[in-house]
């Protein structure tokens, strides 16, 4: 039997894990803090959070609805969409 490949951080960090962690959080700063509290390296760039260079979460708003689109950077399916609610888009910074 061939040896199994050792798990790396990229194997453990999935779009599903990130989506479940930030679901319901409408502020990008709070979402970043939630990911960091979960032990994930999260960096904010504009309206996106990059998680350990493996997953990106994009904060999207349209007609007063806000949601996260979460996907693997390498394009591996599936992409996850989770909701968050806020009526003020200026509050995205989490300030």
End-to-end CA distance of the chain: 54
- pLDDT of amino acid 75: 93
C-alpha to C-alpha distance for 11 and 32, rounded to whole angstroms? 20
| DSSP symbol at 24 | T
| Cα four-point dihedral sign 66, 67, 73, 75 | negative
* The residue to which tokens 């609610």 are assigned: 85
| DSSP symbol at 10 | H
| Predicted TM-score (pTM) of this structure | 0.77
Condensed to tens digits (0 to 9), the pLDDT of residues 21-67 reads 999 999 999 999 999 999 999 999 999 999 999 999 999 988 888 99
Condensed to tens digits (0 to 9), the pLDDT of residues 2-20 reads 444 444 454 589 999 999 9
With both helix axes pointing from N to C terminus, report the angle between 28-37 and 15-22 in degrees, rounded to the nearest 10.
Answer: 120
């Amino acid at each position: 039997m061939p040896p199994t490949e050792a798990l790396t951080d990229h194997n453990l960090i999935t779009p599903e894990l990130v989506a479940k962690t930030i679901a319901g959080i409408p502020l990008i700063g709070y979402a970043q803090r939630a990911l960091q509290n979960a032990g994930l390296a999260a960096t904010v760039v504009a309206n996106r959070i990059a998680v350990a260079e493996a997953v990106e979460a994009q904060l999207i708003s349209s007609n007063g609805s806000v949601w996260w689109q979460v996907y693997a950077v390498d394009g591996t399916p599936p992409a996850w969409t989770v909701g968050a609610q806020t009526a003020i888009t200026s509050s995205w910074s989490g300030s």
